[in-house]
Amino acid sequence: MKTPAEEVAALPPSGGSSGPGAPSCAAGRGAGELRRPLPSPALADAGAEGVGEAIQLKVPALQQLYHWDCGLACSRMALRYLNLLNDEDFQRAVRDLQLTKSIWTIDLAYLMRHFGVKHLFCTQTLGVDKGYKNQSFYRKHFDIEENRVNQLFAQAKACKVLVEKRTFLARGWQMATQRTTVTVTVGDIQEHLSQGHIAIVLVNAVLLLCDLCSSPVKYCCFLPIGQKCFCRSPDYQGHFIVLCGYNRALECIYYNNPAYADRTCSTSIHNFEEARTSYGTDEDILFIYQNS
């Protein structure tokens, strides 16, 4: 989750970090030289149920521990799906990368690189959108995070963290005269999933609605157990989910919500698009490839 930085966080029982700052570019697990990911020619041994019109990958559901660590929980799901998760190694990576209670999508991309996972991070803004300073979700510690996150983007290429700007800029006549970078489409996402790969997506939790759950998840459900919420519902609440399938006939997307440890959720493509393109998300999506 893109959350305001408050203090250095600890992963129980022995996790933690030494404070904000730029991570080392050294990668673990012999990542070597990573090239831009390409779709694999066929569905790999992904434990998938169905291909083509419908697919649901068997991605383990892991629950977040705190209200702020949904991104780390999603990363753990991805690594377990890839058979790369070791709790001690993961906690060490959190310390090495100096991850705090403020987890941005670029942090997750560095985490994938640390474990040698082939990835591609697509976003609208190569850095921090200054407009977020006026949003309640980002406002409190925006100045501190702006410098840190911009530094991560600046170092990404040298650290072999793969980042691409994907935003639709052309309008009208500009389409014929201006070179553009197009956004990631639902078709792109479905093609990625159909080959056994997964993705971590930043969404606005206020808008995301599961069609299978008996009641919608509210942002206050991400608070620690026993802590009451007295806040007003915000316009934007950043939350990470793991995409694990789709059904073209039903026009739905399947995903694991780290708020739960016992289910796979489903939402309509329309609702998914609304939640992932909401202002505040930067349309961030971290494509993760199985053949890492």
The mean per-residue pLDDT over the stretch 84-101 comes to 94
What pLDDT is recorded for position 54?
A: 94
Q: Is residue 10 part of a domain?
A: no
Whether 31 is in a domain gets the answer: no
| Percent of the chain as helix, strand, coil, to the nearest 5 | 25, 15, 60
In a domain, 74, yes or no: yes
Based on the structure, what is the number of domains in the chain?
A: 1
d(CA 264, CA 268): 14
Q: The domain containing residue 220 runs over which residues?
A: 54-170+179-288
- 255, part of any domain: yes
Residue 65 domain flag: yes
pLDDT of residue 37 exceeding 50, the answer is no
Q: Output the domain CATH number for residue 103.
A: 3.90.70.10
145 occurs within a structural domain: yes
Tell which residue, 154, 146, 128, 169, has the closest CA to residue 282.
128
Q: What is the pLDDT of residue 90?
A: 97
Judge whether 212 lies within some domain: yes
CA 74 to chain centre: 7
Global confidence as pTM: 0.78
Per-residue pLDDT tens digits for 38-78:
333 333 334 444 447 999 999 999 999 988 899 999 999 99
For residue 24, name the pLDDT band (cuts at 50, 70, 90): low
The verdict on residue 13 lying in a domain is: no
What is the pLDDT at residue 172? 40
